[in-house]
Chain A
Amino acid sequence: MTSAPRTLSRRAFAGIAAKGAAAAALLPTLSLGAGQALAADATIKVGILHSLSGTMAISETTLKDVMLMLIEQQNAKGGLLGKKLEAVVVDPASNWPLFAEKAKDLLEAQKVAAVFGCWTSVSRKSVLPVFEQDDGILFYPVQYEGEESSRNVFYTGAAPNQQAVPAVDYLMNEEGVERWVLAGTDYVYPRTTNKILEAYLKLKGVGADDIMINYTPFGQSDWQTIVSEIKKFGSAGKKTAVVSTINGDANVPFYKELANQGVKATDIPVVAFSVGEEELAGLDTKPLVGHLAAWNYFMSVDTPENAAFIKAWHKFIKNDKRVTNDPMEAHYIGFNMWVKAVEKAGTIDHDAVIDAMIGVSVPNLTGGYATMMPNHHITKPVLIGEIQGNGQINTVWETPGLVVGDEWSDYLEGSKDLIADWRKPMNCGNFNVKSGKCGGV
């Protein structure tokens, strides 16, 4: 009895759905007129490869929205090469192998002109072979550990020398820090960054027993022991600071524990590389005032470009409480660079655009210019900011000029002799200046 109507309704539904799909398929052809049979050619497709579900959704959904906004703005300006841009959004669901599958789908089935996406280094490493095989273009907007340069990837986030190293310099020179805690989540970005920082600190004459390295699992929520260890480490009579590569979410309980155990920024400042306005939005920041963050952009930066960007963002997302952050600026820069390179090349052909990208220069949101360098990294200012009681970060120091992203760290054995240069005739991502050969060794 009960199963009959169910089947019926399912069938009825399928029928409606099929009709709907047919109508939807007909619509574009109708609206464009009979002459244009190939509707797809009228638009340029832009792939957006950010997780909309799973653990990384918290960070990546915002980047998807900012890309939709940028594409909408570009279309309002008349599109690109006389065509409208069309966003193709896929959801790799914070699942690293799925990133590669979705990338393949975007490049081979959808034939997108460029892809903007990925957050974690492991997702980037997962899609890298796909982009190299299909000769696609990926814009990667997040600060990362370096030690990579691919012809098919444009790194618009910070390399370690554009974030970690200047932050350590700041603490050393301005706060007089002599003792260092390097605390991070246990995965590739913190481990590589800490390796670089450790080498850098030792080069600066910091002794091995003045460096404490600590790793915690993803999503760590019990920080009691670690914070009390930091307190103990900080009581050796030398000014101590914490350099934190703790990943997104786990920061909230970490800072809560710091505040509750009474570790103040004036005693032991914490400088974080993964804490931005978005992470602070889930937190009462009053006890955190004075802790530091190192980025290339803060929402509080007072420039007309930034004010316009924030205004457009609030209008687009229909919520004027939403914050902006550094990876959003990286997408803003990357997208504008790509538009400029396509206009320069006059085509969306991947090879032509990749060649046209180098040397493209667009305004950033902090009042300067970002230029794409031959190693596929960009120039950025480095800002050190202090967390404020209202969840914003105010700049307290910035590099006097722009810093060029250095993909192969100068402080690591095995990578200090490498350079990347994707211009002809070198055309190599890991050229060894000592042996004069491409290929790392």
Chain B
Amino acid sequence: MLRILLLAFLLCFGLSAETRADGFDDGLHLLGGKFDDVERGVVILAGSGDQRAGAVLAALQDNRLMVVAGDPPSFFIRQADDSLLDAATLQPAGDAAAGAKAVRVNNRIRRAAEAALGTLNLSSPNAAIRRQAADAVFKARDGEALPALEAALAKERDPDVKAVMETARAAIFLANGQGDEAQRLQAVETIGRRGDPDALAMLRNLANDTSASIREAAAASVSSIEMRQSMLARVQDAIYGISLGSVLLLAAIGLAITFGVMGVINMAHGEMVMLGAYTTYVVQTLFVTYLPDAANWSLIAAVPAAFVVGGLAGVILERTVIRFLYGRPLETLLATFGISLILQQAVRSIFGPTNREVTSPSWMSGSFDILDGLTLTSGRLVIIIFCLAVFLGLLAFIRYSRFGLEMRAVTQNRRMAASMGIRTGLVDALTFGLGSGIAGIAGVALSQIDNVSPNLGQGYIIDSFLVVVFGGVGNLWGTLTGAMAIGIANKLLEPFTGAVLGKIILLVLVILFIQKRPRGLFALKGRAIEA
């Protein structure tokens, strides 16, 4: 009996001593096992209080933790420069790391690692990391993190970080039923102030709380957040509409010149956009090969390149095909349709049928808060600004430059322009080149939000014609209004009807409108139109 007791005592003592001394190693070794083991390992590491745990967990989360199988397995952390550190010593790993494979993780483990890191990093000297950690704790709502959070709150000086930590503490109170009633009431208020979908989700879960006052406070908070959210949703829809409208405008603005001003039904317009997108791809590839440091800015360089490529293609198209077909719209339509197919297949033969990857530069990734709870992704914002810049630039060019003047003269009265010494043939070619070049520029923007594939243009040609016809042929302001009207109407309809039906309804509306006003929103008046 005594022996058994002694043994048990020894075992317990031995075990607990081991856990204290080797919590880190135990946890680390578990990371080499199955997903369940890895998850346990993460928890043990987080509780070990060891300095090294943070580095290991961060590496695990980013898929940078490598393992060499063995008994026990050895672990390495891959650095940004691809060199390996031994996870147990944090010293550079030598040959021991040969054949190391990344430790496999899944969402469950990523979540566990994120939560564990949150708790560990609450006492980091860097305010940004503390803030991130508090966010992670807020998301995980793990009751076990409460002591660490309280300790961090007591020390915290930065008011921003402190506010995030308080929200995190409130979330833990509410999610785990911790704290007394006063604290929980306070928590409902803190969470309510956050006002975002996460807060809404948390407050809704309080509908069955045991305390009546908390239930009421939560319900009141939920309804006020819901009202705010539904109001914001309409504003959000309108902003999305402007964003869609700017994409439509970009695609259509070149067509507003070739079709609107010159009257050429150019079915190959979409392919000019596609050429622009492929130019972006080529420019990006060149940057990555020759100027890797500036790769983030290759998009800027792609704009003039795409203009030149699109413009040249347009001039060649006009000189070799279209000029023989002026005044014969049906033949123009068929010829340019054929050219669009040729261009598609040519690109498919050169670049292959698979999509090309154009990466988004860092300044176009992520999102941007316009208001609390109202976000627009950075890429879309850049496109809106870019689109307006192109539009205004084109408007100024046509109005103030000599070429713009000649262009207007030729379209208004070709014969008189010719007798004034304007070379109308050259102006035709350059005008078509201008429209096509702008289509090329649109391709640069579209490469950021759509697939760079040989079919890219096809998706935009119908919409482009729709915008130009709806806005009024021959009027750039009409194109702007038309694009925005269609974009916003589309986005306001979409939440109610779904994307498919919304598009159909919109098409029907535009057709009805054109029946009523065949010349679109802004019809040109005067003699010019009769010519």
Which A residue's beta carbon lies closest to that of B113? A266
**Chain A residues with Cβ under 8 A from B111's Cβ?**
266
Complex formed: what's the CA distance from A266 to B117 in Å?
15
A394 to B205, CA, bound (A): 35
Among the stretches B17-25, B160-168, B408-416, B492-500, the one at the interface with A is: B492-500
Determine whether the beta carbon of B108 is less than 8 Å from that of A283.
no
How far is B233's CA from A215's CA once the two chains are assembled, in angstroms?
Answer: 20
Complex CA–CA separation, A259 to B378 (angstroms): 11
Contact pattern, A 218-232, Cβ under 8 Å of B = 1, otherwise 0: 011110111011011
Residues in A whose Cβ lies below 8 Å from that of B247:
222
Contacts of A54 in B (CB 8 A): 455
18 contacts between A and B (CB under 8 A): A58-B355, A225-B240, A229-B495, A232-B233, A249-B451, A249-B455, A257-B377, A260-B367, A266-B107, A278-B354, A282-B355, A282-B356, A282-B357, A282-B451, A282-B452, A282-B453, A283-B357, A386-B106
A290 lies within 8 A of B240 (CB): no
Chain B contributes a number of interface residues (CB within 8 A of A) equal to 58
- Which of B205, B455, B491 has the most CB atoms of chain A within a 10 A radius of its CB? B455
Interface residues in B434-456 (C-beta closer than 8 Å to A):
449-455
B107 touches A284 (CB 8 A): no
Contact B500 A216 (CB under 8 A): yes
Asked whether any CB of chain B lies closer than 8 Å to the CB of A289, the reply is yes
Name A225's contact: one of B104, B365, B491 (CB within 8 Å). B491
Please give me the 7 A-B residue pairs with the lowest Cβ-Cβ distance, nearest first. Answer: A235-B197, A282-B355, A260-B377, A237-B201, A57-B353, A221-B450, A224-B240
Q: Are B499 and A220 interface neighbours, CB within 8 A?
A: yes
Given contacts A232-B197, A260-B365, is CB(A290)–CB(B106) below 8 Å?
A: yes
Q: Does B519 belong to the interface (CB within 8 Å)?
A: no
Given A53-B348, A58-B354, A266-B114: A386 and B107 interface contact (C-beta under 8 Å)? yes
A217 touches B451 (CB 8 A): no
B residues bordering A, Cβ < 8 Å?
A: 35, 63, 104, 106-108, 110-111, 114, 139, 197-198, 200-202, 204-205, 229, 233, 236-237, 240, 243-244, 247, 344-345, 348, 353-357, 359-360, 365-367, 375, 377-380, 449-455, 459, 491, 494-495, 498-500, 503
Q: For the complex, give the distance between the alpha carbons of A287 and B359 in Å.
A: 12
Scan residues 196-222 of chain A and give those whose CB is less than 8 A from a CB of chain B: 214-217, 219-222
Binding site for B on A (CB under 8 A): 52-55, 57-58, 61-62, 174-175, 186, 214-217, 219-222, 224-226, 228-229, 231-232, 234-237, 249, 252-253, 256-257, 259-262, 265-267, 269, 278, 281-284, 287, 289-290, 386, 388-389, 394, 396
Whether A260 touches B354, Cβ cut-off 8 Å, given contacts A226-B499, A284-B359, is no
Give the residue of A217, A249, A260, A388 whose beta carbon is less than 8 angstroms from that of B453: A249
Q: A52-B353, A282-B354 are in contact. List 9 more A-B contacts (CB 8 A).
A: A57-B353, A175-B108, A214-B498, A221-B459, A224-B243, A225-B237, A235-B198, A257-B377, A260-B377
Q: What is the minimal beta-carbon distance from B387 to any residue of chain A, in angstroms?
A: 14
CB pair B451 A216 closer than 8 Å? no
The answer to whether A53 touches B354, judged by C-beta atoms less than 8 angstroms apart, is no
Bound: A269/B354 CA distance, A: 26
Inter-subunit contact A175/B107 (CB<8 Å)? yes
B368 → chain A, closest Cβ, in Å?
Answer: 10
In the complex with contacts A217-B503, A236-B201, A58-B357 CB distance below 8 A: no
